[in-house]
Amino acid sequence: MTRQVFLDPVPAGALDTLWNRNDRVADAVEEALDWIEAEPPDPRATRRRFSNGIWVVTVHAAGEDWTILWEEPDPGRPVVRHIAETTSI
């Protein structure tokens, strides 16, 4: 069973731009979003968490490192707050 992942406008735009720039990295980020979407979330999506409740997922593909920041403000409703190249965070 899966649940829907919601993306804030900025990370949604970052993912769209990434698809136009590097399909391999975009595909890896999409795979990580699937980890978040799983019910329950895949353990890879919940390995690291900040004290404020934000989860951190790191993706490595095609020589690039990307970070996804997400939270679940309401049960069963994960929201991605940020997607960016790790060097830009």
- CATH number, position 29: 3.30.2310
Number of domains in the chain: 1
Q: Does the residue 80 lie in any domain?
A: yes
Average pLDDT over residues 62-67: 96
The reported pTM is: 0.92
With a pLDDT cut of 70, the percent of the chain lying above it is 96
Please list the residues that pair with 85 across neighbouring strands.
66
pLDDT surpassing 70 at residue 1? no
Confidence band for 53, pLDDT divided at 50, 70 and 90: very high
Q: Does the residue 59 lie in any domain?
A: yes
Identify whether the C-beta of residue 84 lies closer than 8 Å to the C-beta of residue 12.
no
Q: Does the residue 73 lie in any domain?
A: yes
Average pLDDT over residues 71-80: 94
- Domain containing residue 73: 6-88
Q: Does the residue 64 lie in any domain?
A: yes
Q: Does the residue 1 lie in any domain?
A: no
Nearest to 69 by CA among 53, 59, 52, 83: 83
Q: Does the residue 43 lie in any domain?
A: yes
